[in-house]
Amino acid sequence: MVGRRMVGRTAHAWLAGALLCLCAASAAAQQAAPPSIPADRFPKPLRPIAGIVSDQWSSEDTRERVGEAARVMQLLGIRPGLAVADIGAGSGYYTVRLSQRVGPAGRVFAEDIMPDYLAGLQRRVAAEGLNNVTLTRGEAHDPRLPPASVDVALLVHMYHEIDQPFGLLANLLPALRPGARVAILDADRVTSQHGTPPALLECELRAVGFRQVAFHPLEGGATYLAVFAPPSQAPAPASIVPCRGEAAR
């Protein structure tokens, strides 16, 4: 009984220490983030914003059966040593798999704006011993990532939920390293139905200076992965023109 109690106490102490380290890492990442451009300086998108309803798009078993994460990481060339931001990480489907792919020399920034989602993900990261993951609480207009820290920023099934997409994209730029890419996975349907038409996505990112460099239909065309190269600097917020017409259907 003494041995079991000691083991239990040791495990409890280890888990508490791991959670403390994750909290400290998250705080350090946010402290290192540069001051953001305020949300009210950017125009609002001219289309509905979908509500946040869950910390996951679909069950992990369902996504694994179709090889979603493996396919996306292959298309993006995710390899050991890269630093990847999982923006809107939710329950951590991509965070866990990215952590395994980039390895000890890489880094995953798991970002979300929902405290409950981050708390659950923090427990999962600690339980699985993912030492290369840093949790970060962002804002709707700013992911709050450290400067020059990210090779690939990945936004999965959440772009349509971003209240201030122009602000988020502009405030993401300082975190991107030279040659970095921004990849967005979404469903090909209107934003009110939890998707983003590809033309609308391309139009909104172009408004902030991003250039689409690749487009990959997934799952028979129901979803897609669009990849963008960032501009050298963000445009002035007042110069950003929200998309109209067919692109904003």
| CATH code for the domain in which residue 206 is found | 3.40.50.150
pLDDT-derived band at 22 (thresholds 50, 70, 90) equals very low
Round to whole Å and give the CA distance between 106 and 206.
Answer: 29
pLDDT at 2 over 50: no
Structure confidence at residue 221 as a pLDDT band (50, 70, 90): confident
Distance (Å, rounded) from C-alpha 105 to C-alpha 122?
20
E-state strands within 14-89: 83-87
CB burial of residue 104 (10 Å; 0-12, 13-18, 19+): exposed
CA distance 239 to 105: 40
Average pLDDT, the chain: 86
User: What pLDDT does residue 131 have?
Assistant: 97
Residue 53: the pLDDT is: 63
Contact between 168 and 142 (Cβ < 8 Å): yes
* 125 token code pair: 């990261």
3-state secondary structure of 238: helix
Tell me which residue range forms the domain holding 117: 2-248
| β-bridge mates for residue 83, sequence order | 107
Whole-model pTM: value is: 0.83
Instruction: Count CB-CB contacts under 10 A for residue 51.
Output: 9
The yes-or-no verdict on residue 132 having pLDDT over 90 is: yes
At 26 the three-state DSSP class reads: helix
What residues are paired with 150 via a beta bridge?
A: 176
The rounded distance, in Å, linking the Cα atoms of 42 and 37 is 9
pLDDT tens-place string over residues 185-195: 999 999 999 89
Confidence of residue 14 (pLDDT cuts 50, 70, 90): very low
In this predicted structure, the answer to whether residue 15 has a pLDDT above a threshold of 80 is no
Residue 207: φ, ψ to 5°: -65, -25
Measuring CA to CA, which residue among 190, 225, 175, 128 is closest to residue 30? Answer: 175
DSSP structure class, residue 92: -
Phi, psi of 123 (to 5 degrees): -65, -40
- Number of structural domains found in the chain: 1
Residue partners of 208: CB distance under 8 A and separation at least 6: 166, 169, 170, 231, 234, 235, 240
- Give the pLDDT score at 232: 92
Using a 10 angstrom Cβ sphere, with 0-12 exposed, 13-18 middle and 19 or more buried, the burial of residue 6 is exposed
- What average pLDDT does range 92-114 have in this prediction? 97
Q: How confident is the model at residue 219 (pLDDT cuts 50, 70, 90)?
A: confident
List pLDDT tens digits, range 137-180.
999 999 999 999 999 999 999 999 999 999 999 999 999 999 99
C-alpha distances (whole Å) from 2 to each of 11, 12, 104, 234 are: 14, 15, 36, 61
The whole-number pLDDT of residue 106 equals 98
Min mean pLDDT across 4-18, 67-81, 83-97, 100-114 is at 4-18
The per-residue pLDDT for range 34-84, each reduced to its tens digit, is 678 999 999 999 999 987 665 455 565 676 766 799 999 999 999 999 999
Of 127-136, 151-160, 214-223, 232-241, the least confident: 214-223
